[in-house]
Amino acid sequence: MTKVIKGIKLRLYPNQAQTNLIWQMFGNDRKVWNLMLDMAQQRYHNNPKSQFVNEYGMNYLLKRLKQEYPYLKLSDSTSFLVVNHNLALAFKALFKHRGGYPRFKSRHQLRQAYTGRSVCRVEAKRRMKLPKLGSIRTSKTGQLTHSKIKRYTLSYNPTGRYYLSLQVETEVEQLPKTGQSVGIDVGIADLAIASNGIKYPTFNAHWHEKQVIKWQSKFNRRKNIAETAVNQWNHSHKTIKEDLNDYQNWQKARMIKARYQKAVANKRQDYLQKLTTDLVRKYDVIVIEDLKAKNLFKNHHLAKSIANASWRQFRIMLEYKCAWYGKKLITISAKDTSRICSKCGFNSGPKPLKIREWTCPQCSAHHDRDINAAVNILRRGLKAVG
């Protein structure tokens, strides 16, 4: 048994009073972030040589803020500590030239969330007790058995649903050893090609993706009509003004579009989870290429296909599952893995992507391009670890 930190996500079903309080807490966290950020800006403008107020200093100011804005007391107090921690990290990244200047948060953002460190516990199979909110109905909580909750994040996404993301400490059992090793080459037509010749196809959800395109078009058209109507009304009426949110038709299209987009994301996540778990169960040693997906996105002909394949997410899942279950993941350089003959080691040079099979000019061995690369990956990985 090994102790690990896992993330578990539950759906929430708040009543009207809880919904109102949730949105109040979203606003309170946003208020604290904006106040602290504004304070840092004003302090710098007044005296550029002044010392930056660190996380401890911002936490010290929270008591004064609650006196000035009494409604902040409605929130879980630990959520403000998380806000200050995140803002301090953002400034540290800025000072080290690893990120841009922190931005003010808006209530118009489609995704709202707050994170707390207070104690929350399971009350029943479909019910949890959260700070300030009390008992709230959820999806099944069976995954939380024998787990210690470290922190929680309550979020609202564009689909109109509320979710509770929990960071828990739990124990996992080591998977039995199989004595098998495999090299994996990632691709576009097939997500993963194993050195033993097995090919795992890339995820696809064609119907849902068509619906996303369809409703994106409807959303754009309806929003454009609403904006035109608002501008015409406000131009002709000086006393009574309309707002874009007064028109509901485009908002319905936005909600439907978001739900289809979420369905595609959920299906992709489920496919990757099942595939990576299957690989970790079958093999003790897995060797993959250290690909820089960010650089590959510069090819606009392949960017969408690479993003759909989710190479980065595939690797992340393999990394933490191998660590959990006592397996070994090895990453190697991707240089020349598809050019070298796996039989004799001859480097045949670069080939266009459309060439999927080739014959070695030196030993006349016929290769499937992807399987040959996977075999080279496995050999290079095993050689690297002796």
The tens digit of pLDDT for each residue in 42-63 reads: 998 998 888 888 999 999 999 9
Q: Do 271 and 331 sit in the same domain of this protein?
A: yes
- Identify the pLDDT of residue 183: 92
Q: Do 181 and 240 sit in the same domain of this protein?
A: no
For residues 271 and 248, the answer to whether their CB atoms sit within 8 Å is: no
Specify whether 370 is catalytic: yes
Q: Residue 256 corresponds to which tokens in the numbers above? A: 């439907």
Q: Amino acid identity of 29?
A: D
Q: Do 198 and 212 sit in the same domain of this protein?
A: no
| pLDDT under 50: residue ranges of the chain | none
Cβ contacts of 73 within 8 Å, gap of 6 or more? 66
Q: Is 241 exposed, middle or buried (0-12, 13-18, 19+ CB in 10 A)?
A: exposed
Q: Residue 68 corresponds to which tokens in the numbers above? A: 């000035």
Q: Which of 226, 256, 286 is the last residue of a domain?
A: 256
Q: Which of 29, 76, 284, 370 is catalytic?
A: 370
- Identify the pLDDT of residue 295: 65
- Identify the pLDDT of residue 293: 67
Radius of gyration of the chain (CA): 26
Distance CA 323, CA 310 (A): 20
Question: Which three-class secondary structure state does DSSP give residue 287?
Answer: strand
Q: Which residues pair with 170 in a beta bridge?
A: 4
Q: Do 225 and 345 sit in the same domain of this protein?
A: no
Q: Which of 256, 279, 295 is the last residue of a domain?
A: 256
The tens digit of pLDDT for each residue in 203-244 reads: 888 999 999 999 999 999 999 999 999 999 888 888 888 888
Distance CA 131, CA 135 (A): 9
Closest CA to 278 of 334, 206, 385, 194: 194
Q: Do 83 and 132 sit in the same domain of this protein?
A: yes
Specify whether 185 is catalytic: yes
Helix boundaries (H) for 165-310:
206-236, 249-282, 293-296, 303-309
User: Which residue matches tokens 């606009």?
Assistant: 300
CB atoms within 10 A of CB 284: 18
- Identify the pLDDT of residue 333: 84
Q: Do 159 and 15 sit in the same domain of this protein?
A: yes
Q: Do 227 and 304 sit in the same domain of this protein?
A: no
Whole-prediction pTM: 0.85
Q: Do 68 and 141 sit in the same domain of this protein?
A: yes
Domain that holds residue 263: 177-204+257-386
Q: Do 247 and 326 sit in the same domain of this protein?
A: no
Task: Indicate left, alpha or beta for 358 from its phi (over 0: left) and psi (-120 to 50: alpha).
Answer: beta
What's the DSSP call for residue 50? S
Q: Do 275 and 368 sit in the same domain of this protein?
A: yes
In what side-by-side order are the strands of the sheet with 127-130? 112-116, 148-156, 162-172, 2-13, 134-138, 127-130, 121-124
Q: Do 305 and 353 sit in the same domain of this protein?
A: yes
Q: Amino acid identity of 258?
A: A
Q: Which of 289, 336, 357, 368 is catalytic?
A: 289
The tens digit of pLDDT for each residue in 253-263 reads: 999 999 999 99
In what side-by-side order are the strands of the sheet with 190-194? 199-201, 190-194, 181-186, 285-289, 328-332
User: For position 273, which CATH number holds?
Assistant: 3.30.420
Q: Which of 29, 76, 185, 284 is catalytic?
A: 185
Distance CA 219, CA 212 (A): 10
Q: Do 115 and 199 sit in the same domain of this protein?
A: no
Q: Which of 222, 256, 290 is the last residue of a domain?
A: 256
The domain tally of the chain equals 3
